[in-house]
Amino acid sequence: MKAIARTYVLSAYAAGVLALAGAWFFGSRPAAVPLLIAVGAAVLSSPFRIPLPVLGNVSIAFTFVFTSLILLGTPAAVLTAAISGVTASLLRRRPRPPLHRILFNAAELSVSTAVAGSIFHLAGGTLGPLDRGGEWLAVVLAAAAFFVANSCLVAGAVSVTDDLPFFQNWRTNFLWTGPAYLAGAFLGAGLSVGYQRFGTLALGMSVPLLYILYFSLKLYAEKVQQERQHGEQMADLYLSVIEALALAIDAKDRTTQRHIRRVQMYAVQLGKALGISVPELEALKAGSLLHDIGKLAVPEHILCKPGPLTREETEKMRIHPRIGVEILETINFPFPLTEVVRSHHEKWDGTGYPDRLKGEEIPITARILAVVDCYDALTSDRPYRKPLSPEEALRYVQGEVDRLQAMADGINRSQETSTAPDKRRLPKGLDPLTRDVNQMRTSIMEHIQSAQRELFALYEIAQSTARSLNLDEAMGFIAGKIAHLLHYRCLVLYLHDGERKVLASRSVHGVHSQRLSGHTIPLGEKMSGWAALHRMPMHGVAHREPVRREGGRSDLEELMEEKAVEKLESAIVAPLLDGDALLGVL
């Protein structure tokens, strides 16, 4: 048992002893025979208990406790409650509860009954037969006091033992039992009236009513339990779907095997340490598994690249938070999951992506995930570097925190009058960053299919060129596959002529194939010659105006004036290499 739980239980023991001793010391002591009858009735009824959804139960012995409170006084009621609490635990089917729980039940029932007795007498209730004209308000208030004291004491024990939020535990597990206590109190009051008129015969007359109360509450409790089990099954189903998606992500990114599992463990532990709410903790638990689901739309060769990414590859990689949100928005999760996925690459100084949030604009769950994601990346082995030790990684993270905090403080001091909008509150599509990217993409599936098409096309090209002995046949197949990846008007294969130091057109597919057959480009000139000499791919456009010199120049710029060659104003050039040896340019 935890230290806080042990202290709580010992305090309940002490309060129970004080309640019992105080009631007998200050209250009027009842006659022996009526007391024995009350205790016997409570003991016989104590095994009939209604289980609560999470932990604990409600006994119909409360009816006889309340009857003894009205007829015999608080001391008799406190003793009856304590004895019924002990016998209810001893007479139950195995497994029997441990001794500390039996004693706790007796103590909390003693305290609850003493509180109810005090409220009953303060509200005008008197010892003996019930005054049907003026004491019903005292009955209602005493029943409410017993319910509040009893439910709060038990809910507190459950909360400190199982680390459950008190109010949420009380509301879910105990609030619905309030009407049962009120019904038991009215039945006890009615039994006291019946005892006044019929004597002990009233006990026999109350049995059918007690059975109806017990049976109806038990049916309701079973229904609540079934609904709770159904909810748990649905939660397990959600978790199974999440884990399946997480495994798909983990399997695709081979450089980060088991990464998401470790991140989940770190994130949940840090979230608990920071005391975030239960919905935020659930979002963090699921988000740490699904934060990279958008990588399904990133080509595998980018994910597995053993080195720094190019600018274009970085842009492709940076779409994955947005794609992840769009995938998960189609599922109605009962916690704020999408904000974790969308914002886990934001940075405190506003230099992150995709929304450039800064400071506390970033959701706390996303901040937690960003920290543990960074820590796990630093301590994991990568093809391009060795892992850092945990101590080195923590020093690095702390250094980044200090650096970003200093930078943010400087920015805040220099822009005290700035009123930048909170991007989280902008309607979807109004954020200019969001709008620009939304205009470039069409749908989630197109991104994912594009990534898969690229991978499969490269695989099929490699297979085809390995089997083919005919260059023209191979180029025809390659041209068809590239056409599935991007729209082009003309595809030219230049081969390197080492003697003449030129690139000579060997195969042309698409428009202007006749005009471009035999076309040559000196090595090192124009875009294709430069790409071949420096072994680097390039993207270029024609320079219609002499002042414009951004990017590379189209290889066919000097042919633009010919009517036979038009609409070939931009180009993508890729050098073809065999190790360091230049074969040509595509």
For the ranges 48-52, 84-88, 432-436, the lowest mean pLDDT is seen at 432-436
The confidence score (pLDDT) of residue 410 equals 57
Whichever domain contains 339, its CATH number is 1.10.3210.10
Query: Do 223 and 286 belong together in one domain?
Result: no
* Domain interval for residue 318: 253-409+429-441
- Pair (273, 193) in one structural domain: no
**171 inside domain:** yes
Q: Which of 186, 212, 228 is the last residue of a domain?
A: 228
- Give the CATH number, domain containing residue 542: 3.30.450.40
**DSSP per-residue string spanning 32-82:** HHHHHHHHHHHHHHTT-EEEPSSS-EEETTHHHHHHHHHHT-HHHHHHHHH
Mean pLDDT of the chain: 76
Exposure of 36 in the CB half-sphere (CA atoms within 13 A)? 3
Can you give the pLDDT at residue 360? 87
Q: How many domains is the chain built from?
A: 3
Domain end marker among 211, 228, 245:
228
Does a structural domain hold residue 471?
A: no
Residue 327 in domain: yes
Helix (H, G, I), strand (E, B) or coil at 574: coil
Return the higher-pLDDT residue of 214 and 119: 119
Looking at the structure, do residues 183 and 263 belong to the same domain, yes or no?
Answer: no
Domain shared by 211 and 270, yes or no: no
Q: Give the ranges where 335-494 is alpha helix by DSSP (H).
A: 338-343, 364-378, 390-414, 432-440, 444-467, 471-485
Q: What mean pLDDT is predicted for residues 368-375?
A: 89
Within a domain: residue 163?
A: yes
Q: Domain for residue 141, yes or no?
A: yes
**Interval 86-94 mean pLDDT:** 75
Same domain, 270 and 210: no
Residues 244-279 pLDDT 10s:
766 666 665 554 556 777 888 889 988 888 888 888
The pLDDT of residue 433 is above 50: no
Report if residue 238 sits inside a domain. Answer: no
Q: Is the pLDDT of residue 408 over 90?
A: no
Task: Provide the pLDDT for residue 431.
Answer: 40
Q: Both 261 and 222 in a single domain?
A: no
257 with 155, same domain: the answer is: no
Same-domain pairing of 394 and 352 = yes
Residues 154 and 280 in one domain: no
Average pLDDT of the segment spanning 181-191: 76
Task: Tell me, yes or no, whether 419 lies in a domain.
Answer: no
Write the single-letter amino acid at 579.
Answer: G
- Whether residue 216 is found in the same domain as residue 294: no
> pLDDT > 90: what percent of the chain?
8
Residue 377's pLDDT is: 82
Judge whether 235 lies within some domain. Answer: no
Among residues 441, 461, 496, the one where a domain terminates is: 441
Q: Are residues 220 and 271 in the same domain?
A: no
Predicted confidence band of residue 400 (pLDDT cuts 50, 70, 90): confident
Whether residues 388 and 262 fall in one domain = yes
